[in-house]
Each structure stands twice: as C-alpha cells, then as structure tokens.
Amino acid sequence: RLYRDEAETLTHVASSPCRLSMYARSAIRLGKVLQSAGVVNASNIVTLAHEGKVAVITLNQPDKLNALTAEMGEAFSQTVASLEDKVNDDSVRAVVLTGAGRAFSAGGDLKFLHDRTNPEISFGDKNFRTMMKYYSNLLTLRDLPVPILSAINGAAVGAGLCLALATDIRLASKSTKLGFNFTRLGIHPGMAVTHFLPQLVGHQKAYAMLLTGELMTGEEAEKLGVVLKCCETPEETVSETMKMAQNIAENSPVAVRTTVATLRAQQNYGLEQSLQREASGQTQCYNSPDLLVGLAAIKSKTRPKF
C-alpha cells in the first residue's frame, strides 16, 4: 500500500511543470518508503556493491542485455535512494555504474515502446507523464553529490548510452558498439541526450550522430569525446574505472563535492526544458506509424522502410 500510494504521488508530481530535481526527490522518497518496508530492489535486477569508499551499481539483466525497462528504472531509483545515507556520512565518495554480462545496456525496452503506441493507454498527456517519470527514475543518479563514473563494458545503445552520458566520466571497451539509434527506430531521442551530447561533441557532430543513428566503436567514441578513454577489454574497462574512482575517493571530499556541484550546475542549465521537449517529441512519435515500422524491422532484423 505504501508503494502504491507513493507511486501515485510520484505520478502526480511528474504531471506538473516542476523541475527535474523535484521528480528526483520523489523517486528517492519512494525508494526510502520501500526501504522502510524492507523492499529495496527485491528483484535484484540492479545490484549494489562496495569497494572501500566506492559504490558499484550494476545493471543486472544480462539475458536481456540490461535493457532499461520500466521495472529496471524503478529498481535503479531505489538503489540510488539506498545510497543516500552512505553518501551523507562520507562512507561513499564515488559511484561506478556498469552492466552485467556482455552489454552495458542495449537501450530501451521494446515492449515498453510498443505499449506506448496503444491508444487505450496513451490518451491525453499520459505518455508525456510516463516518459518524464521514466527519465527521473534513471537520472536521479545525478542527485548524488559525488562523482559518477560509467564503466561501459559492452554495448551501449539508445537509452543505455544516454544513461552513461548523464554520468560525469565514461570509460569504454575499445571494440564495444555505442550509438543513438532513435531515428532509425522511428522515435525522438530521449533521456537528456539532446542536452548532454552537444555539450560533449558540439552541435554539428551531435546532429550527425542523432540523425544518422550510426554505431561507433569505443575507440571512435574516445576520438569524438563521448568517452574519456577506451580500454582493450571489458575487464580492463571496469578495472580502470574502479582505479579512477578510488583515486578520486582519496581526495578531499569537500573539494570533490563542491567541484562536482559547480560543474553539474553548468551542465544542468536548460536540462528541464530539454527533457520536456524530448518527452513531447517522443509522445508525437508514439502517435505515428513510423515507430511500429521500426519495431517490426528490429524483430525481422531488416532495415526499416519508412
């Protein structure tokens, strides 16, 4: 009952023109409600471990290539909420995000996308509110006042790479595939990629990457500035990311946190407007036959013909 009541509150919050931080606070509040009821990520599809003062969050559905389902989004926000006390008492000074198995995250859940095209569940502004809640569950990671590093150990596509872009530092495996395949699928890009990507690579390259939907290797991503460094293997990627996180964790926590706050404040300017525009654009695409064409093409493993 607590979960249901709080979830309903979060839905109402997401329907109002509030700032992302308000959505994120609601997601964290939901996580605390679940914590108090002893229900912190019972599904284990997102795991949490600690190595010294570094917390490691792992997307843990390798059989589905760690697709970012709505269920995983809820588990993710609960996991982030469970870290809040450890961050506040300084026992966690940095966080590493990675994926289990051969993928970091293959992107959004195709069933979730298909369901959004159903007129019976997409009436009014419901899809807009659904997407804003989906974004907030995953982007709540940015509310932690410590550095967040991504160890992109395998494929990171669509929403999976968007999640990595929302972290502060990214390392990737040299041969892994990364990209933003939204327009090839028939949907507007989401989860703040239209906000963060131009900051990283400039507007012209962001246009090219988002409009073509072409994949790149970790090595190409390093040259473009999408990732800081590429490593030879997935194992080395995780190891090097952990070394960097532990190195950061040894520095002054006050200096590190205030620096993170200053840098994120610059990055976050205009973020809420970008998210609302993305949710609106995706809502328009849910009402278009193009998305169904794209989803069918993925199922048949062919190039879509729009």
For residue range 118-127, list pLDDT tens digits in order.
988 777 799 9
Question: At residue 171, does pLDDT exceed 80?
Answer: yes
**Three-state DSSP class for 31?**
helix
For residue range 64-80, list pLDDT tens digits in order.
999 999 999 999 999 99
pLDDT band at 42 (very low <50, low <70, confident <90, very high): low
For residue range 221-280, list pLDDT tens digits in order.
999 999 999 999 999 999 999 999 999 999 999 999 999 999 999 999 999 999 999 999
What percentage of the chain has pLDDT greater than the value 90?
83
Pairing of strands 46-51, 54-59: antiparallel
pLDDT for residue 210: 98
Residue matched to tokens 């968007």 = 162
Can you say whether the dihedral through the CA atoms of 131, 137, 138, 139 is positive or negative?
Answer: positive
Question: At residue 22, does pLDDT exceed 70?
Answer: no
Least confident of 4-8, 22-26, 160-164, 295-299: 4-8
Beta-carbon contacts of residue 43 (< 8 Å; ≥ 6 apart): 71, 75
pLDDT for residue 4: 34
Question: At residue 209, does pLDDT exceed 50?
Answer: yes
pLDDT for residue 32: 44
pLDDT for residue 35: 42
Task: Report how far residue 157's alpha carbon sits from residue 151's, in angstroms, rounded to the nearest whole number.
Answer: 14
Question: At residue 138, does pLDDT exceed 50?
Answer: yes
What percentage of the chain has pLDDT greater than the value 70?
86
Beta-carbon contacts of residue 119 (< 8 Å; ≥ 6 apart): none
30 to 153, 188, 225: CA distances (angstroms):
30, 28, 35
Task: Report how far residue 75's alpha carbon sits from residue 247's, in angstroms, rounded to the nearest whole number.
Answer: 28
pLDDT for residue 41: 53
For residue range 173-195, list pLDDT tens digits in order.
999 999 999 999 999 999 999 99
pLDDT band at 25 (very low <50, low <70, confident <90, very high): very low
Stated length of the chain: 306
The mean predicted confidence, pLDDT, of the chain is: 88
Reported as type and span, the H/E element at residue 58 is strand 54-59
pLDDT for residue 107: 92
Question: At residue 58, does pLDDT exceed 50?
Answer: yes
Question: At residue 115, does pLDDT exceed 90?
Answer: yes
**Three-state DSSP class for 244?**
helix
Instruction: Kindly state the tokens that stand for 103.
Output: 């993928």
Residue 4 neighbours by CB distance under 10 Å = 8
pLDDT for residue 123: 73
Contact, 58 vs 98, CB < 8 A?
yes
pLDDT for residue 51: 97
Number of DSSP helices (H) and strands (E) in the chain, helices first: 14, 10
Q: What are phi and psi of 55, to 5 degrees?
A: -95, 140
CA end-to-end distance (rounded Å), the chain: 45
Among 194, 210, 190, 69, smallest CA distance to 131 is for: 190
For residue range 82-108, list pLDDT tens digits in order.
999 999 999 999 999 999 999 999 998
Question: At residue 5, does pLDDT exceed 70?
Answer: no
List residues bridging with 56 in a β-sheet.
49, 96
